[in-house]
């Protein structure tokens, strides 16, 4: 499979604009959380789940700012894995890369099945419809990313604009049916239930780290990544809070039992014929999330192959402007396999959501720890970094036993890295040891963006 670079007719490499980058962030973070998690959170904590939503909106801002600062200064396909290598060395980089990459197939299955449930509610067909919808979504995002980041970025921009309009319309039309009585009792399961609800909602706010793998694909990373991040934080925060409040205030206790809460909300606002529209919104939201995550994971897999943490044949496509088709095909195949297992075993999506968020929280923890070492010791970035440290500590405490999955992945990664290190033919896939690149590590704490070499560090 080729890895030709995308270029304009004038020979200048194309890439993501700030607006397309904003759309990528919105798709990755807003994603499928808005179509399913308001109901799951309401089931866990009742109206008090709104406090969990608010807390995570607040906590996500410093996380987003921290990853934006890292991406602007170190624009490389390795993303958090590259930051971990610069800060802590090859082993930690390999572990965090594995945690993110192997979270995507399970997460993609859960996300695609969320959309499948909406389509099934609209047209019927049971599990067959759900599975077919999920498989179709996987095929679309694989094809989109195989055509290159410019095509994926344009698709994402169109999806994000349409989604914001549809969600705002759904909330506005349903609010006349809201009743304050639906907010009482506010904490029917006790105040401690807010913690489990927040653990579920981490899924909704994962995504700030996903776009770091695409940082090198921005036309001007130092300028455009902070702009895209700031705009996305605002849009995502407003949309999540608006939808979550509308679901609770309009649907009341029925929100906890709704398989398709956004569909129920739209039916209240637009009448009983909104199921097809709700299904369309769910499909578009899922396409946006999966498109962003497939793009980020494909680039990461290529970078891990380049750096020796994955088999070297995956390394093609790691450079900016190249299409990582081998890594993309691997992500897609693993996602299809995960969907097959979930369908055959008749597993619910809740365990998949919590397993995936455990991996994302682990990635956050390593990324923020790297930021403490790599970003300037003084200035505006330092406030965001320490805010992110607090946010990650809270998320780790909420994740509990679901950190066992990333712990297992960590063990597998360390075994592979030890095996790889013992081979005499490590060759071209071997990353440059951190000690061999002191000028880059030193430059990481300067004022300007740091462009990685072809090896990523």
> How do residues 234-255 score in pLDDT, each as one tens digit?
888 888 888 889 888 888 887 7
Predicted pLDDT of residue 259: 63
Predicted pLDDT of residue 136: 93
- In the chain, DSSP finds a helix count (H) and a strand count (E) of 16, 0
What residue has token string 């808005």? 34
The dihedral built from the CA positions of residue 360, 362, 363 and 367, taken in this order, carries a sign that is positive
Predicted pLDDT of residue 224: 86
Evaluate the omega torsion of the peptide bond into residue 185 and state whether it is cis, within 30 degrees of 0.
Answer: yes
Least confident piece of the model among 21-30, 181-190, 254-263: 254-263
Q: What is the mean pLDDT of residues 188-202?
A: 82
Out of 5-9, 65-69, 262-266, the most confident range is 65-69
Q: What is the mean pLDDT of residues 108-133?
A: 86
Q: What is the mean pLDDT of residues 38-55?
A: 85
Q: Check: CB of residue 451 under 8 Å from CB of residue 222.
A: no
Q: In terms of pLDDT, which residue wins out, 377 or 99? A: 99
Cα 310 off chain centre by: 21
- Using alpha carbons, list the distances in angstroms from residue 213 to 119, 216, 319, 371, 432: 31, 7, 11, 16, 19
- Using alpha carbons, list the distances in angstroms from residue 260 to 8, 32, 120, 281: 43, 11, 10, 11
Listed by start position, the domains of the chain span 18-421
Q: In terms of pLDDT, which residue wins out, 97 or 24? A: 97
Predicted pLDDT of residue 383: 84
Among the listed residues 346, 208, 290, 360, the one whose alpha carbon sits nearest the alpha carbon of residue 35: 290
pTM of the model: 0.72
Average pLDDT of the chain to the nearest whole number? 78
Out of 89-93, 106-110, 120-124, 162-166, the most confident range is 89-93
Q: Tokens in use for 209? A: 């780290």
User: In CATH, what number does 18-421 get?
Assistant: 1.20.1740.10
Digit-coded pLDDT (tens) for 286-328? 887 788 788 888 888 888 888 888 888 888 876 766 788 899 9
Digit-coded pLDDT (tens) for 332-365? 999 998 888 888 877 666 667 777 878 888 988 9
Digit-coded pLDDT (tens) for 57-89? 888 888 888 988 888 888 887 788 889 999 999
Q: What is the mean pLDDT of residues 22-39?
A: 74
What residue has token string 């939503």? 53
Q: Which helix (H) or strand (E) holds 418?
A: helix 404-421
Q: Quick check: 37 pLDDT over 50?
A: yes
Predicted pLDDT of residue 138: 92
């Amino acid at each position: 499979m080729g890895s030709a670079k995308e270029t304009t007719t004038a020979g200048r490499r194309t890439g993501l604009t700030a607006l397309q980058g904003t759309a990528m962030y919105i798709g990755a973070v807003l994603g499928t959380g808005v179509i399913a998690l308001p109901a799951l959170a309401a089931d866990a904590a009742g109206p008090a789940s709104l406090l969990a939503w608010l807390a995570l909106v607040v906590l996500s801002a410093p996380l987003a700012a921290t990853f934006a600062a890292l991406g602007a200064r170190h624009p490389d396909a390795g993303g958090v894995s590259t930051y971990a290598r610069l800060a802590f060395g090859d082993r930690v980089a390999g572990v965090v890369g594995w945690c993110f990459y192997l979270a995507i197939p399970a997460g993609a299955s859960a996300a695609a099945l969320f959309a499948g449930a909406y389509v099934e509610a609209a047209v019927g067909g049971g599990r067959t419809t759900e599975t077919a919808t999920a498989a179709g979504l996987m095929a679309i995002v694989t094809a989109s990313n195989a055509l290159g980041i410019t095509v994926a970025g344009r698709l994402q921009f169109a999806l994000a604009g349409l989604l914001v309009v549809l969600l705002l319309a759904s909330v506005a039309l349903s609010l006349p049916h809201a009743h304050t009585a639906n907010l009482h009792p506010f904490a029917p399961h006790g105040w401690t239930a807010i913690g489990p609800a927040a653990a579920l909602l981490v899924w909704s706010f994962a995504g700030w780290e996903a776009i770091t793998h695409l940082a090198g694909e921005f036309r001007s990373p130092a300028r455009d990544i902070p702009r895209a991040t700031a705009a996305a934080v605002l849009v995502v925060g407003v949309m999540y809070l608006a939808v979550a409040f509308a679901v609770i205030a309009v649907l009341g206790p029925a929100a906890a039992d709704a398989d398709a809460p956004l569909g129920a909300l739209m039916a209240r606002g637009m009448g009983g014929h909104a199921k097809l529209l709700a299904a369309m919104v769910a499909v578009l939201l899922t396409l946006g999330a999966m498109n962003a995550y497939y793009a980020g994971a494909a680039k990461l897999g290529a970078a891990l192959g380049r750096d020796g943490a994955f088999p070297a044949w995956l390394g093609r496509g790691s450079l900016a402007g190249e299409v990582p088709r081998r890594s993309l095909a691997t992500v897609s195949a693993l996602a299809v396999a995960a969907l097959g297992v979930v369908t055959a075993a008749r597993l619910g999506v809740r365990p998949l959501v919590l397993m995936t968020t455990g991996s994302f929280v682990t990635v956050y923890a390593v990324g923020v720890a790297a930021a403490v070492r790599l970003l300037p010791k003084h200035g505006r970035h330092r406030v965001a970094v320490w805010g992110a440290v607090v946010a990650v500590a809270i998320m780790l405490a909420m994740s509990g036993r679901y950190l066992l999955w990333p712990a297992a992945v960590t063990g597998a990664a360390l075994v592979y890295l030890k095996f790889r290190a013992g081979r005499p033919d490590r060759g071209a896939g071997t990353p440059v040891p951190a000690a061999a690149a002191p000028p880059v590590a030193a430059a990481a704490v300067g004022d300007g963006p740091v462009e990685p070499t072809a090896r990523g560090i």
